[in-house]
Chains A and B, each alone.
Chain A
Amino acid sequence: MNSDWWKGLVVPAVLLGLAELAMRFHGSVSMSLAAPTDIVIAFGRVLLNGSLLAATGGTLVSAGAGLIFGGFIGLLLGILFGLLAIVDRVMEVTIEAIRPIPSVAVLPIAMLIFGFGYRMEIAIVAFSCLWPVMIMTRAAVGGIEPRLLEVSRALRLSAVDRVIKVVLPAALPRIMVAFRLAAGIALVVAVTVEIAVNPLGLGYGILVAQQALQPDVMLAYLVWIGVIGWGLNVLLSLAQNRLFGRAGQVEVVR
Chain B
Amino acid sequence: MKAWRILWLALSFLVAILFVWGWQMLADYRIVSPVFLPGPDRAWRSLTLGFTTGDLGMKFLSTVERMFWGWLIASLLGIVLGAAIGTSPRLRTYLAPTLEFLRPLPASATIPVAIAMLGLSDGMVLSVIAFGALWPVLLATIHGFAAVEPRLYEVGRALRLSRPAVIFKIALPSASPDILAGMRLGLTVALILSVVCEMIAGRDGLGNWILLSARSFRAPDLYAGVILLGVLGYGTSVILAAVEGRLLSWRKRAR
A interface list, Cβ under 8 A from B:
4, 7-12, 31-33, 89-94, 96-98, 100-109, 111-113, 184, 187-188, 191-192, 195-197, 202-203, 206-207, 209-210, 213, 215, 218-219, 221-222, 225-226, 229-230, 232-233
CB pair B13 A93 closer than 8 Å: yes
Set A94, A101, A187: member contacting B226, Cβ < 8 A: A101
- The stretch of B70-78, B139-147, B158-166, B191-199 in contact with A is B191-199
Decide: A229 and B36 in contact? CB cutoff 8 A: no
Beyond the given pairs A89-B11, A108-B222, A108-B226, 11 more chain A to chain B contacts, judged by CB atoms under 8 angstroms and listed by A's residue number, are A4-B93, A7-B93, A31-B116, A89-B12, A90-B11, A92-B12, A101-B230, A102-B192, A105-B230, A112-B222, A197-B199
- Contacting residues of chain B (217-243) with chain A, CB-CB under 8 angstroms: 217, 219, 222-223, 225-226, 229-230, 233-234, 237
Does A105 contact B15, Cβ atoms closer than 8 Å? no
Count contacts on B: residues with CB < 8 A to the other chain.
56
Chain B residues with a Cβ under 8 A of chain A = 8-9, 11-13, 15-16, 19, 35-36, 93-98, 100-102, 104-113, 115-117, 188, 191-192, 195-196, 199-200, 207, 210-211, 213-215, 217, 219, 222-223, 225-226, 229-230, 233-234, 237
Residues of A within 8 A of B223 (CB): 109
CA distance A122 to B16 in the complex (A): 27
Residue contact A97 to B195, C-beta cutoff 8 Å: no
Contact, CB under 8 Å: A111 / B214: yes
Knowing A108-B222, A188-B108, A192-B108 touch, does A98 contact B94 (C-beta < 8 A)? no
Interface residues of chain A: helix, strand, loop or mixed (majority): helix
Contact sample, A vs B, 23 pairs, CB 8 Å cutoff: A8-B98, A11-B95, A11-B98, A89-B11, A89-B12, A97-B16, A100-B230, A102-B229, A109-B214, A109-B222, A187-B104, A191-B109, A195-B112, A206-B109, A218-B113, A219-B113, A221-B109, A222-B110, A222-B112, A226-B101, A229-B104, A230-B101, A230-B104
